[in-house]
Structure 1
Amino acid sequence: MSQLAVKINEREINENSKSIRRNGETPGIIYGEFLDKSIPIKVNNSVLNKLLRYNSKGSILKLDLNDAHKYCVVKEVQKDIITGKVIHVDFQYVKENEVIKMKIPVNFIGLENLELKRLVLESFLNEIEMQGQVEKIPEYIEIDVSKNNYDDKIFVKDIKLPEGVRLLTEGETLLAVVNG
């Protein structure tokens, strides 16, 4: 879980998204089961861009709103189709020690060793769903394929998980195959 607190501001009722964007900020929202109501927010663009550069969708962050820290998961980042700029961001509020379900990215490393053997990794799934306490769920799963050979198959059940975290994606689901 990220310990860096990111400063965000609550949006005023009369502020619309266009005026927020013109002022160099991005509109967003914080929602969650343990909040009385959703909180409309705005984040400075440069702060948000740095935040998203180092944290992917599903990352758990500490947001500073009105001098109170809120742990949140990046749930959705909407981008302008033409410019690629972030136009809206959604955060889901979570309590410390809360058990949550999340989709976690799967990253394959060691691909250069496969290339030396003239092999290619064909990936079928780029994220898996798991459940566990907020602070125990990893930001991503890393799978080393450097020692794999032709026709090796990698299944979800082959992933080693932290203690207290369980897979929700079916274990027999095929993640990738090494091809020639």
Structure 2
Amino acid sequence: YMTYTVTVEKRTQGGSKACRAFRAQGKMPAVVYGPNNEAETILLNTKEFEKIWSEAGESTVLTLAGLDKKVSVLIQDVAHDPLYGTPTHADFYAIQADTVVDVEVPLEFTGVSPAEKGLGGTLIKVMFTLPIKALPKDLPSEVEVDISSLVTFEDQIQVRDIKLPQGVVADAESEEVVALVQAPREEENEDAGDVSSVEVEKKGKEEESAPNNK
């Protein structure tokens, strides 16, 4: 499975003033915690984390190096600057190699739907992420959803239809809808035509009833 190694350092100073100073130096405050780990405050390179965060997401195992021992973690939460959108703080959840973890992975929609391409329908993605359970070594960075099975407007892709990698279990109702194709809304076009004809008819009557000044 894919993993990233991030070099971190222990953070000895706390408080908002110290955190602002760290960020000015290109360092981001963070905290590591878990069932077998006491909460520990750390610092890491902001740009390095930003790159990993965009590539890895929450379902990729990170290895934190630079502490008393290497720690395997998942990204639990990330705070962002409201103005610039850059990460300002992260929570890391320490995991054990032999313990199942719960995460949400992004869904990657692949293939071509005949109902969308051939019948002019609109693909509706009901779910964009899927909650799963797996050992850290089995965690996928994303889960593919093949939409080629959406042949008619009655077809649906449900959670039970998704092919998951070995060792991965969906943590959602099996009948929950993931995607479908919506039929074209022809009624709107018909209504628009009716309105146009009414307006033309109304305009014609107004012209007939208007006084002739010639």
Could you tell me the TM-score, scaled by structure 2's length?
Answer: 0.75
Q: Quick check: which has more Rg, 1 or 2? A: 2
Asked whether the equivalents of residues 5 and 69 of structure 1 are also in contact (C-alpha less than 8 Å), the reply is no
Shift of 1:120: 2.4
Greater mean alpha carbon deviation, residues 126-135 or residues 113-122: 113-122
Asked whether the equivalents of residues 58 and 75 of structure 1 are also in contact (C-alpha less than 8 Å), the reply is no
Shift of 1:168: 1.6
Shift of 1:146: 3.9
Q: Which amino acid aligns with 1:25?
A: K
Asked whether the equivalents of residues 116 and 181 of structure 2 are also in contact (C-alpha less than 8 Å), the reply is no
Q: Give the aligned CA root-mean-square deviation in angstroms.
A: 2.1
The answer for the alignment partner of 2:195 in structure 1 is: none
The answer for the alignment partner of 2:35 in structure 1 is: 33
Aligned identity (percent) is 24
The answer for the alignment partner of 2:25 in structure 1 is: 23
In terms of fraction of residues, the more strand-rich structure is 1
In structure 2, which of residues 163, 168, 173 is the aligned counterpart of residue 165 of structure 1? Answer: 168
In terms of fraction of residues, the more helix-rich structure is 2
Shift of 1:58: 2.6
**SS of the residue aligned with 1:88?**
strand
- Flag structure 2 segments of 5+ consecutive residues without an equivalent: 184-214
Q: Do residues 62 (structure 1) and 63 (structure 2) align?
A: yes
Shift of 1:17: 1.7
Could you tell me the TM-score, scaled by structure 1's length?
Answer: 0.88
The answer for the alignment partner of 1:155 in structure 2 is: 158
The answer for the alignment partner of 2:53 in structure 1 is: 52
Asked whether the equivalents of residues 73 and 94 of structure 2 are also in contact (C-alpha less than 8 Å), the reply is yes
TM-aligned CA distance change 1:65 to 1:106, over 3 Å: same
Shift of 1:19: 1.4
**SS of the residue aligned with 1:55?**
helix
- Counterpart mapping for 1:49-128 below 5 A: 49-66=50-67, 68-110=69-111, 116-117=117-118, 118-128=120-130
- Flag structure 1 segments of 5+ consecutive residues without an equivalent: none
- Aligned equivalents of 2:68, 2:51: Cα separation in 1: 21
Q: Which amino acid aligns with 1:155?
A: Q
